């Protein structure tokens, strides 16, 4: 990846080539690559 532009999963920080932007992260299986997220939110009642 040296010298190439990269995109990241916002939750895991996994790094991908730009062609994977918008696809499902292969580490978390729940987040889209290079999309903003609020992280893990827990609610208690």
How do residues 5-45 score in pLDDT, each as one tens digit?
Answer: 899 998 899 999 999 999 999 999 988 998 766 656 666 66
pLDDT tens per residue, range 25-35: 999 998 899 87
Helix/strand/coil for 20? helix
Sign of the dihedral defined by the CA atoms of residues 33, 22, 40, 28, in that order: negative
Q: Indicate the pTM of the whole model.
A: 0.69
17: enclosing H helix or E strand: none
How many Å apart are CA 4 and CA 9, to the nearest integer? 16
């Amino acid at each position: 990846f040296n010298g190439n532009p990269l995109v990241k999963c916002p939750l895991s920080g996994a790094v991908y080539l730009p062609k994977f932007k918008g696809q499902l992260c292969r580490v978390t299986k729940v987040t889209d690559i290079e999309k903003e997220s609020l992280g893990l939110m827990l609610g208690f009642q």
